[in-house]
Amino acid sequence: MSETDAQTAFIRSEMLAPQLPPVTERGVIKWLRENLFAGWLNSLLTLVSLFVVVSIIVTALPWWLNGVWNAGSLGECRTIAGPEGGACWAVIKARWHQYIFGFYPQDAYWRPILAFGMMFVALAPVLYYGLRAGAKLIGVVAVLTVLSLAALDHNIAHVGAIAVLMAGLFAFSVIAPKRLVYVTILYPFIAFWLLWGGSIWKPVATLLGFGVMVLVYRLIQPRLGVIMGTAVGFVAACLYWLFVQGAITGALGDAWPTLTAVNSDQFGGFLLAFVIGVTAITCSLPIGILLALGRRSDMVLIKTLSVGFIEFIRGVPLITMLFTASLLLQYFLPPQTNFDLILRVVILVTLFAAAYIAEVIRGGLAALPRGQYEAADALGLDYWQAQRLIIMPQALKISIPGIVSTFIGLFKDTTLVSFVGLLDPLRGVTQIVRADINWKGIYWEPYIFVGVIFFLICFGMSRYSMYLERKLKTDHR
């Protein structure tokens, strides 16, 4: 630039061609210098971390590599592994079915597997925007379901029938992806019947109760509004469940089709974790939304009730609530009622999660500018329309990270049900396995196994939430 120094007028005679940056400013060297060796402190930390990572690997690797897969007991494992020691994965090989299914009858394993596969079919229209992605998910799940059934169930008729069913669902998701929502609506009842068995007319009669609710709502809502419609519909459905349903199921009895009944105390392992976790997650979101709206309501009674509920639930440890579920409710309910323990636990875990979800969503609501409410009002939208079309889509989007954190926490908290005598995978099943004389003294392997599965599930949820955030990002900030 020296030619411009001495004079004020300057005219460039030829344009400069772009050049590459110097060697230290590009590629791997630049990355290393900026990220690992930016200063003496940074370099020191890099070296120390490297040392820690390497020494951990050096210590633990032989144990992993020396793992024994085929052995009948811990002693046998130790003999095979020799003096340097090694992991005894044989325990997983021997007992994995208890970690997955608890004491669920072995010849009925196809039922939870089918229920699990169908769960993804039911979730597909909820989880994915693109209907194509949903169909792809269903295809993959269908293949996996049939494969795992073929491995576990030796009844060819079962496997064949389920293969046909899953293929049918996949075809359905390709041909009429929007209709898949009906599978979602029916899924809770199908899953209940598959898992607990008994007469199919019990869940069908329960489903009818929801039919009653919708019917009454449709009749009342145009005249008395959303809130009255919902309230009266709910009361009507409760009356139906209390007084009519018993008569219907009693009359139909054990009419075809029936499955062998499985008792709640036979549930265990990840089957139990999923039953509690998935039900509580699905139910707590809508309840949480209503609680969050209630807490921001102008109506004093609704606001006080919501605040009271949220603060009470958040102030009490989950274990207390689980003990309440297993012991105290028994005292308050009429003596002959046989209220299923899993159901009681699910209800309390749902309420527990709903209180947290409500607060997370309230944060999202508070983050919305007041102008959004005003614009919705100024256009003449009523309260529920504004909430559904304008406020909630935005508030939920803001709250996704918080909501998913709560769900992940909830899913891991399902292991606490071991305190009320249910067989959760972490403590319940592991205790049983370690009580076996063959595996007495085994420590790391079962916990690592359970931990890895929990990690995969929770990591999956976290990745999904990131996908959703990207998908919903429309503000282009």
Least Cα distance to 244 among 195, 218, 211 occurs for 211
Q: Per CB under 8 A, does 379 bind other proteins? A: yes
Among 3, 168, 382, 459, which residue interacts with other proteins (rule: CB under 8 A)? Answer: 382
In Å, how far are 273, 325, 339 from 336, measured between CA atoms?
A: 28, 17, 9
Instruction: Looking at residues 150 to 189 of the shown chain, list those that interact with other proteins (rule: CB under 8 A).
Output: none
**Which residues on adjacent β-strands are paired with residue 68?**
88
CA distances from 449 to 88, 90, 95 (A): 11, 12, 11
- Check residue 8 and report its DSSP letter: S
Q: Counting contacts by CB under 8 A, is residue 299 touching other proteins?
A: no
The span of 3-11, 298-306, 356-364, 371-379 binding other proteins (CB under 8 A) equals 371-379
Q: What's the min distance (Å) between Cβ of 123 and other proteins?
A: 22
Give Rg (Cα) of the chain: 29
User: What DSSP line would sit under 283-352, residue for residue?
Assistant: HHHHHHHHHHHHHT-S-HHHHHHHHHHHHHHHHS-HHHHHHIIIIIHHHHS-TT----HHHHHHHHHHHH
User: Under a CB-based contact definition with an 8 Å cutoff, are residues 86 and 68 in contact?
Assistant: yes
Q: Does 472 bind other proteins (CB under 8 A)?
A: yes
Q: Does 470 bind other proteins (CB under 8 A)?
A: no
Residue placing its CB nearer to other proteins in the complex, 25 or 377: 377
Quick check: bond before 22 cis, omega within 30?
Answer: no
Taking the complex as a whole, the smallest distance from the CB of residue 474 to other proteins amounts, in Å, to 4
Looking at the Cβ atoms of 26 and 218, the one nearer to other proteins is 218
Q: Are 361 and 399 in contact (CB under 8 A)?
A: yes
Interface with other proteins includes 367 (CB under 8 A)? no
Q: Which is nearer to other proteins, 30 or 397 (CB)?
A: 397
Q: Is 369 in the site for other proteins (CB under 8 A)?
A: yes
Q: Residue 474, interface with other proteins (CB under 8 A)?
A: yes
User: Cα torsion at 412, 415, 420, 421 (round to 10°)?
Assistant: 160
Of 314 and 471, nearer to other proteins (C-beta) is 471
- Using the rule CB under 8 A, which residue among 208, 287, 381, 448 binds other proteins? 381
- The binder of other proteins chosen from 178, 223, 470, 476 (CB under 8 A): 476
Under DSSP, is residue 13 helix (H, G, I), strand (E, B) or coil?
coil
The residue (of 97 and 397) whose beta carbon lies closer to other proteins is 397
Q: Is 475 in the site for other proteins (CB under 8 A)?
A: yes
The reply on whether position 50 binds other proteins by CB under 8 A is: no
Pick the closer one to other proteins by CB: 353 or 398.
398
Q: ∠ at Cα 60 (55, 62), nearest 5°?
A: 115
Report the site for other proteins in 383-412 (rule: CB under 8 A): 385, 389-390, 393-394, 397
Q: Give yes or no for residue 223 binding other proteins (CB under 8 A).
A: no
228 touches other proteins by CB under 8 A:
no
Shortest Å, Cβ 411 to other proteins: 28
State in angstroms the smallest separation of the CB of 232 from other proteins.
20
How far apart CA 114 and CA 142 sit, in angstroms, is 9
Build a one-symbol-per-residue string for 314-353: x at contacts with other proteins by CB under 8 A, - elsewhere: ----------------------------------------
Determine contact, residues 117/141, Cβ cutoff 8 Å: yes
CA 434 to chain centre: 29
- Determine the interface stretch with other proteins among 63-71, 120-128, 366-374, 428-436 (rule: CB under 8 A): 366-374
Q: Look up residue 362 and give its amino acid.
A: R
> Of 11-19, 69-77, 141-149, 367-375, which segment contacts other proteins by CB under 8 A?
367-375
CA distances in angstroms from 84 to 55, 59, 63, 73, 449, listed in the order given: 17, 11, 8, 18, 22
239 binds other proteins (CB under 8 A): no
Helix (H, G, I), strand (E, B) or coil at 103: coil
Does the footprint of other proteins cover residue 378 (CB under 8 A)? yes
| Residue 406 to residues 281, 325, 471, Cα–Cα distance (Å) | 9, 21, 21
How many residues touch other proteins under the rule CB under 8 A: the total is 22
Q: Pick from 21, 39, 371, 441: which binds other proteins (CB under 8 A)?
A: 371
Residue 374 binds to other proteins (criterion: CB under 8 A)? yes
Task: Provide the 8-state DSSP code for 255.
Answer: P
Binding residues vs other proteins (CB under 8 A): 369, 371-372, 374-375, 377-382, 385, 389-390, 393-394, 397, 472, 474-477
